[in-house]
Structure 1
Amino acid sequence: MKPSKIQGGKKMRKVKKWCALLMASVMLAGTLTGCAVDEKTQESGSEQAGDEGKSDEGGKITKSEKEGSFKVGIAAREITNDYNRNIVSASQKMIEDAGGSVVIADAQADVQKHNENIENLINSGIDGLIVHLGDPEQMAPLMEEAEKKGIPVITNGVGSPVAHTIGDVNGDDPLMATLASDALLASIGYAGDVYVVWVPGAPLLETRKRIFEAVAADYPDVKIHEVPAEHNPAKVQTQIEEILTANPDEGSIAGIFGTYDQLVSGASEAIRRAGRGQEIKMVAIDGDVLGFQMLFQEDSPFISTVVMDTESIGKQSAELLLGVMDGSVDPKTISPKIPASCYVATRKNGVEAAEMKWGKNFWEDAGLVKEDVEKQFPKKEDVIVALPSIP
C-alpha cells in the first residue's frame, strides 16, 4: 500500500523546492571517498572563513578573518558536500574559538594538488595540521616531513591510520556498513537480487561493499550484483534505469545497497519514476540532508540511512590536535583510529534522527514541513546511537 499523500498548499510549495534540490543534487558529480552529498544551504568551512581566498586551477586557499596566537592548516581533498563541510567547519570553529587562525587548502578533488597543498602548508610556518581525506601511502612521506619539523598532524576521513600522524578520526565504516546491511536484508526478507553501487578504488566504499557482501553471504537466497560507478549521481541514475529496463518483472530486483547517500540519489529517482518505489528497497550511509529528503519522499524506495556524526569528527580532530599542541594530551595515549558515533534512521524514527543530525532548522533547509512528515511517518522507535568500544 502506498503511503498517503501529504496535503496542503504549503506542502506543494515545499515539493517544488524539494524537486529543485533533488535535480541539482542528481546533476552534481561530487567527488569523494565515501561520503554523501546534498544541496543543503549550509556554509562550507571556506565560506565561513570569509570566502576571500584565492583560487587557481587546482584548488582554493582561504584564511580566517582574524589572526590568532597560533596557526593551523586544514588540507581538504575536496569540500563539496555535507560530510566535507561539516568536518572542516567544525574543526575551524573549535580552533578559532581557542584563539587560533586557520588556513584552509581545498584541492577541489585534485589528488595531486591535495598532496601539494599539504606540502605547502607544512612549509608555511603552521603550528599544526589537519588533513581531510587522502591516500595513506601517498601521504606518509609528507607526514614524516611534518613530524621532522615538529608539526603535529591528525587526519580525518582517511579510513585508516597514516604513519607519522596522531591518528585518523572518522565514522566506523565496518559498523555503519553492518547496520545498513541488516536494514536492507531485513526489509527484503533475506532473499532476492540486490545491486551494490560503489566506486571501485575508493577505500571507504570498498570497505562498505566488502562488509555488505560478508553479511549477505549468510543468506543463500540473496544474490548480489555489482554496479561499479563513478562519483556521479546522474550517471548512476542512467545505470539503474538500464537495470530496471532489463528487469521489468515485479520481484526481479529486491534491493539496492548504496555506499553513500548521494551516490544513489539518482537511482532512487529512477526507481520512483518507474513506479517501483514500493517494490524495491534501498539503503545508504551518511545521513545527509538529501538522504532524509529521500527517506521522507512519497513513493521513494529509500528506507534507511546510517547517520554519521560528522560534526563530532571535526571537533574531535581539532580537540586532539590542540591538546597535543599545548601539551595537555600525550599523543601516545591516542588510538590510531578514532571512531565517531552513528545511528540508523528509518521512517519509524526519521523525524528525531533528522533533528539529531541537522538541528531544528532541518525542515526549512530541506524544504519539508515537519508536522506533515510526522503525520505521514509517526514515531514508532527511538534512535539508538552506536559507538564501538575501544579498550
Structure 2
Amino acid sequence: MKRILTGVLAAALALSLCACGGTPAASSTSSAAPAASSASSGGGLAGKQISVMTPYLSSVTTHQMADALQASLEGEGASVTVIDTANDFAALASRIEDVTAAQTDAIVLVSADPSQVENQLREAFDAGIPVFGCDSGYIDGMQINATSDNRQMGELITNYLFDDLMGGKGTVVALTHRPHPGVVKRCEAFDELLAAQPDIQLITEQHVPAEQPINDAQDIVQNLLTANPEKGSITAIWCGWDEPAIGAAQACQEAGRDEIMIVGVDGNEQAVSLIQADTPLKATVAQNFQGMVDIVTEQMGRYFAGETIQPGELYAAATLVTKENAG
C-alpha cells in the first residue's frame, strides 16, 4: 500500500520514542490519592529487582513509558527487567506468575487493564509483592496507578472537535480500542457528549487492534472513504489515541480528502508534527508520560523506604495541542 508523508513521519517517528517535551509536571490527582510532589525516591529503590510488564510495547507511547521507567528506576539504583508479551494477555498472565514465583521486588504494569490479569495480580499481592500501574487501570490491592484523567481528556478533545472544529454539526467516525482502560474512559466521554449533539451523526465506530494501529487505521479509513466518496460526507474522525489518528490522516491525504478533520489523544511527537504540518490531523491532548513515570518512581521509593502511601490513582496533567500551540 502506498504511504505518503514519508519524510515528515520518518523524522517524527524517531522523536516519538522520546518523552513528550513541553508538557506540564504532574500536578492534579484523583480523589483517591494525594499528588506526588517529587520524583525523588529517597534511596528506597537501591538494589531492588523491578519487573516492568506490558502487552503493548509495540505502541510508541507504551514503549516511551517503559524506556522512561527503566531509566528512572535504574537511576535510583534498582535493577529493571522490561517484559513484553506482544499483545497477548494470556502470556502476560503467565509472566506475572513467573516473576511472582521468582520473588521480584515489585511489578509495574504499563498500559494494561489489571482486571484482565486480576487472578495473577492477586497471587502477587498475596506474596507481598507491590504492584504499581503506569497509564493502566487500578484494582484493589495495587499501590497506585499513575495516569492522566482520561475522562477529562476525552471531554477536552471531544468538545474541541464538536464545538470548535465542527461547529456543532456534521458527521463523525470514531476509531476506538475499548479494551484499554484509559481509552474506555475517553470513549465514555465521547459517547455522552455525542448524545447531547442532535446535529452531529455518528457514521460508525470501528475497533482498531493494538498490534499495528497506524496501518490498521489507515486501512479502515480507506474503506470508509470508498464507501463515502463525496467530499463532505464525513466531517470528522475522532480517535481514542494518536496512532489511529496518524493512520487516518495518511488515508485522508492519500485520497485527497483534506476537508476531514481528525483528532487524537496522547501528544506523541509524530502526531504533533502532523498537526504542525497542517494535515487533516488537527488536535491531540498531550499526556505527560514523564510525569507518570516520576509519580511511579517516587511512590515506589516511598513504599520501599517504609513510608505509608495512599492507594489509588494519581494524575499527571494533560494539555490540548493544536496548530496554534504545537510548537
Runs of 4+, deviation exceeding 6 Å: none
User: So what's the TM-score if we normalise by structure 2?
Assistant: 0.82
Of all paired residues, the percent bearing the same amino acid is: 22
CA distance, structure 2, for counterparts of residue 19 and residue 93 of structure 1: 26
Match of 2:156 among 166, 171, 179: 179
Question: Does residue 289 of structure 1 match 2:269?
Answer: yes
| Map of 1:319 onto structure 2 | 298
Question: Does residue 303 of structure 1 match 2:279?
Answer: no
Question: Does residue 163 of structure 1 match 2:163?
Answer: no
Match of 1:255 among 230, 236, 247: 236
Q: Which 5+ residue runs of structure 1 have no aligned equivalent?
A: 1-14, 23-37, 45-66, 352-391
Match of 1:270 among 251, 259, 275: 251
| Counterpart contact for 1:199–1:206, Cα < 8 Å | yes
| Map of 2:319 onto structure 1 | 343
CA distance, structure 2, for counterparts of residue 257 and residue 111 of structure 1: 27
Shift of 1:42: 3.7
Shift of 1:104: 1.9
CA distance, structure 2, for counterparts of residue 312 and residue 178 of structure 1: 21
Match of 2:217 among 236, 261, 265: 236
Equivalent residue of 1:285, what SS? coil
CA distance, structure 1, for counterparts of residue 319 and residue 113 of structure 2: 27
User: So what's the TM-score if we normalise by structure 1?
Assistant: 0.69
Shift of 1:135: 3.2
| Counterpart contact for 1:143–1:163, Cα < 8 Å | no
| Counterpart contact for 1:127–1:152, Cα < 8 Å | yes
| Counterpart contact for 1:169–1:316, Cα < 8 Å | yes
| Map of 1:143 onto structure 2 | 121
CA distance, structure 2, for counterparts of residue 219 and residue 285 of structure 1: 21
CA distance, structure 1, for counterparts of residue 218 and residue 271 of structure 2: 16
Q: Which 5+ residue runs of structure 2 have no aligned equivalent?
A: 20-44
* Aligned length in residues: 294
Q: Which has the higher contact order (CA 8 A, sep 6+)?
A: 2
Q: Provide closer, same or farther for how the CA distance between residues 151 and 202 of structure 1 changes in structure 2, counting only shifts above 3 A.
A: closer
Shift of 1:262: 0.8
Which structure has the greater CA radius of gyration?
A: 1
CA RMSD of superposed structures (Å): 2.3
| Counterpart contact for 1:194–1:222, Cα < 8 Å | yes
| Counterpart contact for 2:92–2:117, Cα < 8 Å | no
CA distance, structure 2, for counterparts of residue 201 and residue 96 of structure 1: 31
* Mapping of residues 1-391 of structure 1, within 5 Å: 17-18=7-8, 20=10, 38=13, 40=15, 42=17, 69-159=47-137, 161-185=138-162, 186-231=164-209, 232-277=213-258, 279-298=259-278, 300-328=279-307, 330-331=308-309, 333-334=310-311, 336-351=312-327
CA distance, structure 2, for counterparts of residue 133 and residue 214 of structure 1: 24
CA distance, structure 1, for counterparts of residue 70 and residue 179 of structure 2: 29
